[in-house]
Amino acid sequence: MVAQGQLPLLQRWIGEGKLRPSEQLADVLCDAERGGPAAALPMYREAGVDEKATLCLVETGDLEALREESRRAARRMPAGWAETHYAR
């Protein structure tokens, strides 16, 4: 579907609940010539795949959105996470 330029139809089906956002579907969108990271980003977010959503932001070069995503991710970290992972 994506290769045939049917991205709007795919997005409509997701909006109608006929398809669920998933990492696998977002991967197909991200790799597709007509999709790309910008098309896959919302699907990664809805599927809860934060690491790949962040990579999409890097690939699209949206630095402001990347900063905001970093702030959101930092708020989700448990207390003491940085001290545990970066202790010397």
Which pLDDT score is estimated for 83?
A: 63
In a domain, 2, yes or no: no
Q: What is the pLDDT of residues 3-51, one digit of tens each?
A: 677 778 887 888 898 988 899 989 988 887 777 898 889 889 889 898 8
The number of folded domains in the chain is 1
Domain that holds residue 15: 7-86
Q: What is the pLDDT of residues 65-77, one digit of tens each?
A: 888 888 877 777 6
Contact at 8 Å (CB) between 68 and 41?
A: no
In a domain, 1, yes or no: no
Which pLDDT score is estimated for 85?
A: 60
Neighbours of 29 (CB within 10 A): 25
Which pLDDT score is estimated for 3?
A: 65
In a domain, 13, yes or no: yes
To which residue do tokens 């545990």 refer? 84
As to burial, measured by CB atoms within 10 angstroms (0-12 exposed, 13-18 middle, 19+ buried), residue 55 is middle
Helix 50-60 vs helix 37-47: crossing angle, to nearest 10 = 160
Say yes or no to pLDDT of 86 above 90.
no
